[in-house]
A and B are shown apart, each in its own frame.
Chain A
Amino acid sequence: MKAKYILALATIWVLFGSCTEKELSENGQPYETQENSENDDPVVRGEAVIRFTDDMIAMIEDELDKGSIPTKSSELSFIAEQMGIKSMKRLFPHAGKFEPRTRVAGLHKWYTVVFDDSIPFTKAEDDLGSIPGIETVEPVYRSRQTTFNDPEFKRQWHYYNDGTLTSSHKAGADINVSPVWENYTVGNENVIVAVVDGGIDQTHEDLAANCIGGINYVSGGTTIKAHSHGTHVAGTVAAINNNGKGVCGIAGGNSAAGINGVKLLSLQIFEHDPNDPNKDIGGTQGYTAIKEGADKGAVISQNSWGASFETKEDMEAAKKAGIPGYVKDAVNYFIDYAGIDENGNQTGPMKGGVVIVAAGNDGWDWGIPGAYEPVIAVGSIAPDFTRAYYSNYGSWVDIAAPGGSAYYTDGQVYSTLPGNQYGWMQGTSMACPHVSGVAALIVSHFGGPGFTNEMLVNKLINGTRPNVISQSAQIGNLLDAQGAFAYGGTTPPDKVSSYTAEAKSNSVVFKWKVTNDQDDRKAYAYVLMASVNASSLENPNYSSLPSDVISSIVLTGNANVGDELEGSIEGLEFSTPYHVTLAGFDYNKNYSQIAEIKSITTGENHAPVISTEYDGNYEIRSHDVLSVPFEITDPDGHSVEISLFPGSDAVKGEKNPVSGKFVVTFTGNADEPGKYEAVITATDAYGMSSSETIEYEIIPNQAPVIVKDIEDMMFSSIGQKFSLDMTEYIEDPDGEQLKFDIAISDRNLLHINPSGNILNATVLNFGLVNVTITATDSRNETCTLTFQVLTKNQDTLVEVFPNPVIDILTVRTGDEAETGIRIYSSSGATVYNNTSAVSAFSPAKIDMSSCAPGNYRVEVTINGNTYKKSIVKL
């Protein structure tokens, strides 16, 4: 039985990645993105993000979908021309089967507007914000992506996750590598990472420069055959950075700066099965490849593969049997001899190697080779710090890294795929190269004579972020690139030599310059402190500051040594003398000496100030919607709560998230006419308040009135058009825009399209229609106009219809005239004879229901002229 297991263990190896190529190719197309500008302005010029109201989006969405600038909204069309708007695209694209819930979430109303970049955002904000159908205008901030221009970096939440990719992504669930790129290294070409996996695509646009070939253990020789899994893993370790293409790799160098990344040695132990691309062949010589990686100069062995057990019972049996000896020997060989020549001399950047392996994807508590203690076993997290559903776990798992999860939208790891493609994959296979990449960065920066694999492991493991992953997950702490680099440093940043401190009410504002850190380049952050007792500040215990010390932390961020920083301490007592100082510290919590202690007295508290630039009246007509922005500021910079007593249902108030102003909106038809009072009250965080009373009146509504009747109209051909300006016929004493509803007795004969006050009509067919136009004001008071439209063929002065007739025969003429009408039977007997006034709009109606079925002749005499028609009665 044991022999059988060992045979199986030796012959069956599978990848820990679980995505299929098919899935990847669908997502692997490169996106077009805007490259980051060198400009330091955090806001992208010429762009804004807006959100439309429901009514507006319903009106213009069809035009937006076509990619055109909407014309259905006259206000938007006008502003678009003024601003030189070039495009309006959905911020959240159509989501296929998820479009319904996208719309429920309201995401379809967000659009990115591109306009003339000579227009500052504040101007664009005012212009776009003035359009009633736009409820929000927001700036487009540059992505915090260091200086790399790789367009797909925005998808690589596993490197930098600010929580914005989707709502499921949690800020900080990443490997915090950006500070390392900025302050330490982007990789060094003297570091070789042996990627024991499927073959790396040696010609991939985003990998080729960092590839140094390898060995094919499946087919033999040195020809590497591109494999999706191996190529994806390699991209995470060292895809080329800052080349304007594809993705970033952790230790991929900086192409634009001419810095090469670490080298990728492809030790191919899998190939795609030529008979079934979804299956692999090979997988039997993984440990041979580990061993030979050391002989080929690699100091880091990257292994996203492991033993495959058909059942958990098989795994338990293997666990009981223990780690096979050849596994141990191969791993030990690499750890002992990597970076060392045959004489025991260090030749590589690190003396000794590290074997980094994926923990496995079975959700079990054991795996090979991860459970072998000397390796670094890597577990996997999803984008929200939780253990990925598939990740193996246990005390033997040394470190966690992002391996992603397909259960989250855009929640997998994004990297390279063969054929210059890119795509998503998940698994501990994807977590593992994150650790290998950071290890390669550490060796790149710290490597050299005397640097050992133990130093590397020490930084890698002890520099992790504790407490962000639940201990119950049993996948170790989260990999932290910056933490690894800072770990072990004992040199604090330089002391802040000068600063200013200014009291502002009960706050103290500090200004100082970023200080140098000998081993970490610059201070990681600063602690600002204030106390009424100067002695409490002199030798502070930063892990437990005295209770009378009030402090705040300011991160250095992207600022460089010598750049000015500003921060403040808030919540101090009013009108009280304080002593203040500050100190810098590095990521490893080494604190500088405190700066000079200064004395300062805080100020008084002041009530918030309510003001408005609006100087018009507050007489609101029923159709009026008056929005008045109030600027509410606190002279002391305190937070302010605003409340509104509306006085009636006609008043609402809310803070505009863009302008920050409190906008009070008066809606005339939302309550009954009358005089009311609204009161705005602003209260600061310390209870001091001020109020503004607004007296307003809702003016009584007046119904629309008819000032002129619309005369009946006659047309002579189909397709004729006419327009009516309704302001000539109906007026609203309140001057409001009326809504016109049109009823047409037969819509097959006439079409009317209302556009504001203009009714555009088109004759569709011959005949007479009654048109009723109802004008409605904002309080649903109405007036109604009716008229007739007759379209008759002018070739026929006299029309007799219907023919055949069953009961009522209509005889229609032109202008009104005394008209004699006689009807004869086929034998010549007179069955009808009458003279009366007949016209186009007052035709004669003759009841022929008492006439027998037969042929009849109708003689119509007008002004001495006689017109004869043959008709049939049925």
Chain B
Amino acid sequence: MKKPLVFLLLTAMLSLLSTYSNATGKNEALPFVRIMQDPVHSAMGGAGLASASSIAYASFTNAANIPFSPDSFDAGVSWQSWQPSSTSFINAGGAYNFSGKFGLAAGFTYGINEPYRIFDDNGIEAGEFSPSDIQANIGIGWKFVKNISVGINVKYLGSTLAASHRYEAVASDIFFRAGFGNFSATAGVRSLGSSVKSSSGSSFSLPASAAVGLGYGSVFSNRHEISALLDADYYFSGSISAAAGLSYTFNDLISIRAGYRYGGKSVLPSYASAGVGIKLFGIKLDAAYLISSGDSPVKNTFNIGLGFEF
């Protein structure tokens, strides 16, 4: 187990160095990597860095959470209508917790963007093209002492924008996590990776940031479970963002969730969110809805997912 972890760590460090060297202050490439695809944490303002209660999408967020999960296995698929009529994401993710010591995770996203009409310099139409995005992740978590773990995700990102124009990058997340009773905390960096180059020759870095996350979870009277999450990011481009979310679960059967994200000038805008979930015999159905001001492009974004855990 140590060898893969060392490999991922090295890859992540190289990505970090690459990010620093390519940080230019322009806007950031392949921003879809920062969109929360997990319907549970989408409903909580996108917060979830320190959450170990739903680990199916850990390869998208923080693999260090896996060894702290009460479940051995969690997997799910989801469909998210992001900026409705603009992009549809089809997502899949899964994680396995080896006895609370190691965790492995993988994930996949395919984004279908609205077709666009091609026009030349004179405005003369010359056809139509359907761009697409793709993301594939693997992650690993290791609790190397009783209350502390480390997790690393490596992600392949690809975006096909026009005929013969495909942009690709590799991104990595590295987090440490500590858990003490009902509290948990995590810190690390995410979306470190290679840059992409535009047709005019300019380089653009990925939306990399340093991030911290806090979590609280407690069960009252064996039926009432409450959890609270808080994430904060400092982007290397200079912007900051934060997200907070609350979840209440009755009898391990029905959950309601809400949250808010402050986007600032980051790659994701601000929005409020809400969601519900139901779990029966390990099978989960979760949904999230993003509530935004009238002119926000993410207004009416909707995410629904089906999962299984044991």
Please report the C-alpha to C-alpha distance between residue A800 and residue B120 in the assembled complex, in whole angstroms.
Answer: 10
State how many angstroms separate the Cβ of A769 from the closest Cβ of chain B.
9
Query: Separation in Å of the B34 CB from the closest CB of chain A?
Result: 6
B115 is an interface residue with CB less than 8 A from chain A: yes
CA distance A747 to B266 in the complex (A): 46
B199 touches A872 (CB 8 A): no
The answer to whether B123 and A827 touch across the interface, beta carbons within 8 angstroms, is: no
Q: Which residues of B contact A801 (CB under 8 A)?
A: 119-123
Given A853-B29, A853-B161, the answer on whether A872 and B116 have CB atoms closer than 8 Å is yes
* Residue A263 CB within 8 A of the other chain: no
Stretch at the interface among A270-278, A497-505, A541-549, A844-852: A844-852
Inter-chain CA distance A871–B161, complex, in Å, is 10
Query: Inter-chain contact count A-B, CB under 8 Å?
Result: 144
Which of B34, B161, B207 interacts with A855 by CB under 8 Å? Answer: B161
> Could you tell me if B122 and A767 are in contact, using CB atoms closer than 8 angstroms?
yes
Q: Which of A800-818 contact B (CB under 8 A)?
A: 800-804, 806-807, 810, 812
Option from A766, A803, A850, A869 in Cβ contact (under 8 Å) with B122: A766
Output the nearest chain A residue to B119 by Cβ-Cβ distance.
A801
Residue of A827, A851, A873 with most partner-chain B CB within 10 A: A827
**Complex: A853 Cα to B82 Cα, angstroms:** 19
B196 within 8 Å of A (CB atoms): yes
Min CB distance B133 to A, Å, is 7
Query: B30, B119, B196, B200: which has the most chain A beta carbons within 10 Å?
Result: B119
| CB of A238 to closest CB in B, whole Å | 80
Taking CB atoms, residues of chain A closer than 8 Å to B37 are none
A189-212 CB mask vs B (1 if < 8 Å, else 0) is 000000000000000000000000
Distance between Cα atoms of A389 and B27 in the complex (Å): 95
- Is B29 a contact partner of A804 (Cβ separation < 8 A)? no
Q: Is A1 an interface residue (CB 8 A)?
A: no
Closest partner residue, chain A, to B35 (CB atom):
A827
- Report the separation of the CA atoms of residues A810 and B121 in the bound assembly, to the nearest whole angstrom: 9
A184: interface (CB < 8 Å):
no
Question: Within 8 Å of chain A (Cβ to Cβ): is B269?
Answer: yes
A116 located at the interface, meaning its Cβ lies under 8 Å from any Cβ of chain B in the complex: no
Complex formed: what's the CA distance from A806 to B129 in Å?
16
**B contacts with A: majority SS:** loop
Whether A746 touches B199, Cβ cut-off 8 Å, given contacts A826-B113, A853-B204, is no
Q: How far is the CB of A319 from chain B (nearest CB, A)?
A: 91
* Contact B26 A852, beta carbon cutoff 8 Å: yes
**Are A828 and B122 touching (Cβ within 8 A)?**
no
Q: In the complex where A802-B121, A804-B165, A857-B83 touch, is A851 in contact with B26 (Cβ < 8 A)? A: yes
By a CB distance below 8 angstroms, the chain B residues around A874 are 161-162, 165, 198-199
Q: Does A829 contact B (CB under 8 A)?
A: yes
Contact between A803 and B204 (Cβ–Cβ < 8 Å)?
no
Report B26-56 residues with CB < 8 Å from chain A CB: 26-32, 34-35
Contact with A along B253-272 (1 / 0, CB 8 A): 00000000001011111000
Residues of B within 8 A of A851 (CB): 26-27
* B86 and A806 form a contact (CB under 8 A): no
Query: Could you say which interface size class chain A belongs to?
Result: 35 or more
Most buried by A among B111, B167, B297: B297
In the assembled complex, B221 has its CB within 8 A of some CB on chain A: no
Nearest to B123 among chain A residues (CB) is A801
| Distance, CA A695 to CA B113, complexed state (A) | 85
Residues of A within 8 A of B295 (CB): 822
B146 at the interface (CB under 8 A from A): no
Residues of A within 8 A of B125 (CB): 766, 793
Q: A827-B34, A850-B202, A874-B161 are in contact. Are A803 and B119 (CB under 8 A)?
A: yes
Complex Cα distance, B125 from A827, in Å, reads 27
In chain A, positions 847-867 with a C-beta closer than 8 Å to chain B are 849-855, 857
Whether A803 and B29, one on each chain, are in contact in the complex, defined by CB atoms closer than 8 angstroms, is no
User: Is residue A351 contacting chain B, with contact meaning CB distance below 8 A?
Assistant: no
Contact residues of A between 760 and 777, Cβ < 8 Å to B: 765-768
Given A766-B124, A874-B165, are A827 and B268 also a contact pair (CB < 8 Å)? Answer: yes
Taking a contact as CB atoms under 8 Å apart, the answer to whether A826 and B123 are in contact is: no
Which of B111, B207, B267 neighbours the largest number of chain A CB atoms within 10 Å of its CB? B267
- Distance in angstroms from A413 CB to nearest chain B CB is 71
Q: Contacts A749-B122, A827-B268, A854-B159 given; indicate if A806 touches B35 (C-beta within 8 A).
A: no
B89-148 contacts to A, CB under 8 A, are 111, 113-125, 129, 131, 133
Complex Cα distance A871/B28, Å?
Answer: 17
The answer on a CB contact under 8 Å between B124 and A765 is: yes
Determine whether A684 belongs to the interface, using a CB cutoff of 8 Å to chain B: no
Digit string of B149-187 for contact with A (CB within 8 Å is 1, else 0)? Answer: 000000000010110010100000000000000000000
Interface size of B as a range: 35 or more
B-side contacts of A109, CB under 8 Å: none
CB distance from A712 to the nearest CB of B (A): 16
Which of B27, B161, B265, B298 meets A850, CB within 8 Å? B27
- Judged by a CB distance under 8 angstroms, whether B209 is at the interface is no
A820 CB, min distance to chain B CBs, angstroms:
10
Q: Across the interface, do A825 and B267 meet the contact criterion of CB distance under 8 Å?
A: yes
**Contact of A828 with B159 in the complex, beta carbons under 8 Å:** no
Q: Does B296 contact A (CB under 8 A)?
A: yes
Given the interface pairs A852-B29, A857-B297, the reply to whether A873 lies near B198 with Cβ below 8 Å is yes
A510 at the interface (CB under 8 A from B): no
CA distance in complex: A66, B267 (Å): 72
CB-based contact B267/A827 at 8 Å: yes
User: Using Cβ atoms and an 8 Å threshold, which residues of chain A touch B200?
Assistant: 806-807, 849
A830 to B133, CA, bound (A): 20
The reply to whether A827 and B198 form a contact with Cβ atoms under 8 Å apart is no
B86 to A826, Cβ gap below 8 A? yes
Q: A495 near B: Cβ within 8 Å?
A: no
Cβ of A130 under 8 Å from chain B: no
List A contacts of B26 (CB < 8 A). Answer: 850-852
B239: shortest Cβ distance to chain A, in Å? Answer: 9
Q: Which residues of B contact A854 (CB under 8 A)?
A: 29-31, 159, 161, 167
What residues of chain B lie closer than 8 Å to A766, measured between beta carbons? 122-125
Q: Closest chain A residue to B203 by CB distance?
A: A852
B269 in complex: contacting residue of A746, A828, A869, CB < 8 Å: A828
The answer for the CA separation of A749 and B118 in the assembled complex, in Å, is 18
CB of B161 within 8 A of CB of A768, answer: no
A827–B295 alpha-carbon span in the complex (Å): 15
| B86 close to A870 (CB less than 8 A) | yes
List residues of chain B with CB within 8 A of the CB of A804: 116, 118, 161-162, 165
Using CB atoms, name the residue of chain A closest to B83.
A828
| Contact (Cβ within 8 A) B298 A828 | yes
Closest to A830 in B: B269
Say yes or no: A829-B269 contact (C-beta < 8 A), given A852-B204, A855-B113: yes
State the Cβ distance, B7 to closest chain A Cβ, in Å: 29
Could you tell me if A853 and B119 are in contact, using CB atoms closer than 8 angstroms?
Answer: no
Partner of B123, one of A812, A850, A853: A812
Name A872's closest neighbour in chain B (CB-CB): B161
On chain B, the residues within 8 Å of A812 by CB distance are 123
**Chain A residues closer than 8 Å to B263, beta-carbon distance:** 828-829
Min CB distance, B74 to chain A, in Å? Answer: 26
Q: Which residue of B lies closest to A767 (CB)?
A: B122
In chain A, what residue has the closest Cβ to B167?
A853
Given contacts A810-B123, A825-B27, contact A852 B198 (CB under 8 A): yes
Which 7 pairs show the lowest CB-CB distances between chains A and B? A767-B122, A827-B31, A801-B119, A852-B204, A852-B29, A870-B116, A874-B199
What are 6 A-to-B residue pairs whose CB atoms are below 8 Å? Answer: A802-B120, A804-B162, A826-B83, A827-B32, A849-B200, A857-B297
Beyond A826-B31, A826-B86, A852-B196, 12 additional pairs, beta carbon < 8 A = A766-B125, A806-B199, A807-B200, A828-B298, A830-B269, A852-B26, A852-B27, A852-B204, A853-B204, A854-B30, A855-B159, A855-B161
Instruction: Give residues in B with beta carbon < 8 Å to A.
Output: 26-32, 34-35, 82-83, 86-87, 111, 113-125, 129, 131, 133, 159, 161-162, 165, 167, 196, 198-200, 202, 204, 207, 263, 265-269, 295-298
Instruction: List residues of A whose CB falls within 8 A of some B CB.
Output: 746, 749, 765-768, 792-793, 799-804, 806-807, 810, 812, 822, 824-831, 849-855, 857, 869-874
